[in-house]
Amino acid sequence: MKRRNFLTRMLAGGALGLGAGCSRKIEPTSRRTEDSPASPDSGSGKTVREPSREIPVLAETDVLVIGGGPAGVAAAIAAARTGADTWLVERYNHLGGLWTGGLVLPLLSTHAVDRQSRTRQVIFGIGGEMAGRLKSLGMAISEVNPVIDPEAGKFVLEEMIRESGVKMLYHTWAAQVIRQDRTIRGVFVESKSGRSAILAKVVIDCTGDGDILHWAGERYEVMKYHIGLVHRLGNIDRIDARKPGYVKRGIGDPTPIPGVNWVNMHGPDEQDGLDVRNLSRLQMDFRREIWENVQRIRQTPGYEQVFLLDTASQLGVRMSRIVEAEYRLTLEDTMTFREFEDAIGVSGAWTTMLYKGKKVPKTERPCWQIPYRSLVPRQTENLLVAGRCFCFEPALVEDTRIIGTCLVTGHGAGAAAGLAVQQREAVRHVDRSRLKQLLLRQGVWLG
């Protein structure tokens, strides 16, 4: 009897103890509040009205490419090779953008794993030609992700522009677009020669920062990211490690020129790359920091001969605008050999990534196709976007902002622009199969 009592009581007690409302689950508390974005400082708040005036037309062309970085150069050459009359506008005095003027010397993501799990080269086409020419000049270290000499880069890119018949405008800033309904008739530019207009059938935004798409009224998101300033050191080969008091110091990485190293700078995070006052402040802070750092190096025994060769002429803005295009490339696309019927090229992988909670080492990462639609903004009929501001989800940023990818998107946009001119079509309606054939003829690997 007693045992039964005990058990009955225990069970009853248990049931009571459990009772209603004793369900065991940890529920979320309140929603996590998102970090509120800092409000942009709009300067003094005052405005003045610019008087309207007649602007001379500098040129009328088929294709106008704004920005002479890796994307812009590839785009201009690709367009010119379709037979289109092509102009290229660059605000500084060199081609190559951050790759050369920014002293960001490694051309990353040239290789990745294909469907047969073999590591192979994926960047061909105009980007591949550039790498090949630099290599044959002895100005590129290594086949995979080559590190180039910046002056050789500027030279080779300029030679290729010359050969293709692209009309080059240096020292010229694009300043505004000439909008008409859903098309842009051209772009206003500023230079020593004053303000002028270049009219074009198709415009390609390769400014990296998406200046053109912003003026064209396209939608985009702004990503605040690290900004840095790269510099180079000379006389690295004259460092004397046997000197008493010698200690190892961070002196960057080798370039194709003996005795010259390039020194990367990651720089502060969450920087606004579109605020010129911020850019100017950073420029000054960085220059001073670099100078002082090099002095510290020179005072270290053994390093006396090392000197600051140069700081980059372009401030290293990694990210700013990301356009909203017809398609947003996703991490999943790049991890699963996603095939696109409108693929314009394939890019590679240089970094290990996380996917679905698991690590995918860089040596096992698949190559990934880039669809044409991710270069086509939603509204404007004759605007294409290439380079680090094309349309992707931010989780992909380390792969999409990279020089190799910029070369691929540039090539695709240039060829498509040429085709749009030929077909007298809006860029969005370019015939996909003809684009594919054209790209294959131009040496692009489509996977």
Partner 1 sequence: MAGLTSLGRRIGFRGLSAAAAALLAAPLGWKAFAGLYLWLSPFLLLNSALALRSFVELNALGFLVLAAALAQKRWFCRHLCPVGWGCDLAASCRQRRNFSTAGFPHVGRWLAASSLAASCIGVPLFQILDPMALFHGFFTPLSAGISAGALPGCLGLPLVWILSLWYPGLWCSRLCPLGGLQEEIAPIGRLLKPKAGKADPASPTPGTRRRWLLSSLAAGVAAALLAPRALASKKDYLRPPGSMPVDRFAALCLRCGNCIRGCPTGILHHHMDAAEPISWMVPSIRFEQGYCLEPCNLCSRVCPSGAITLFDPAAKDRLPIGLAEIREEECLLAKNRECDRCKASCRYRAIAMTARRGSLLTLPEVLPKKCVGCGACEVICPTRAVRIRPGPPGT
Give the interface with ligand FAD as residue ranges (CB under 6 A).
Answer: 66-72, 89-92, 97-99, 102, 104, 106-108, 173-174, 206-209, 211, 228, 230, 264, 316, 318, 387-388, 401-404, 406
Residue closer to partner 1 (CB basis): 101 or 412: 101
Residue closer to ligand FAD (CB basis): 213 or 294: 213
Distance CA 72, CA 64 (A): 10
118 binds, among partner 1, ligand FAD, none (CB under 5 to 8 A by kind): none
Q: Which residue has the tokens 């007649």?
A: 54
67 binds, among partner 1, ligand FAD, none (CB under 5 to 8 A by kind): ligand FAD
Does 10 participate in binding partner 1 (rule CB under 8 A)?
yes
250 binds, among partner 1, ligand FAD, none (CB under 5 to 8 A by kind): partner 1
Picking from 100, 229, 207, 84, the residue whose alpha carbon sits closest to that of residue 158 is 100
Does 27 participate in binding partner 1 (rule CB under 8 A)?
yes
280 binds, among ligand FAD, partner 1, none (CB under 5 to 8 A by kind): none
Determine the residue type at 267: G
Copy the structure tokens of residue 322.
Answer: 């990301």
What is the 3-state secondary structure of 169-216? ECCCEEEEEEEECCEEEEEEEEECCEEEEEEEEEEEECCCCCHHHHHC
Q: Which secondary-structure segment (H or E) carries 8?
A: helix 2-18
Residue closer to partner 1 (CB basis): 2 or 242: 2
Does 395 participate in binding partner 1 (rule CB under 8 A)?
yes
Distance CA 288, CA 293 (A): 8
Residue closer to ligand FAD (CB basis): 169 or 439: 169
353 binds, among partner 1, ligand FAD, none (CB under 5 to 8 A by kind): partner 1
Distance CA 241, CA 40 (A): 49
Does 1 participate in binding partner 1 (rule CB under 8 A)?
yes
Kindly identify the residues of this chain, within the stretch 346-375, that bind partner 1 according to CB under 8 A. Answer: 351-354, 356-359
- Report the phi/psi class of residue 267: left, alpha or beta, with left for phi > 0 and alpha for psi in -120 to 50: left
The DSSP-derived string for 99-113 is GTTT---B----EEE
Close Cβ partners of 91 (under 8 Å, ≥ 6 residues apart): 171, 172, 173, 174
Does 423 participate in binding partner 1 (rule CB under 8 A)?
no
234 binds, among ligand FAD, partner 1, none (CB under 5 to 8 A by kind): none
SS3 label, residue 59: strand
Among 32, 53, 118, 424, interactor with partner 1 by CB under 8 A: 32
Copy the structure tokens of residue 400.
Answer: 């999409």
Question: How many CB atoms within 10 Å of residue 45?
Answer: 6
Among 162, 171, 238, 266, interactor with partner 1 by CB under 8 A: 266
Does 250 participate in binding partner 1 (rule CB under 8 A)?
yes
357 binds, among ligand FAD, partner 1, none (CB under 5 to 8 A by kind): partner 1
Distance CA 85, CA 194 (A): 23
Among 96, 208, 267, 345, interactor with partner 1 by CB under 8 A: 267
- Contact residues: partner 1, CB under 8 A: 1-4, 6-8, 10-11, 13-14, 17-18, 22-29, 32, 35, 225-226, 250, 252, 263-270, 286, 289-290, 292-293, 351-354, 356-359, 395, 397-398
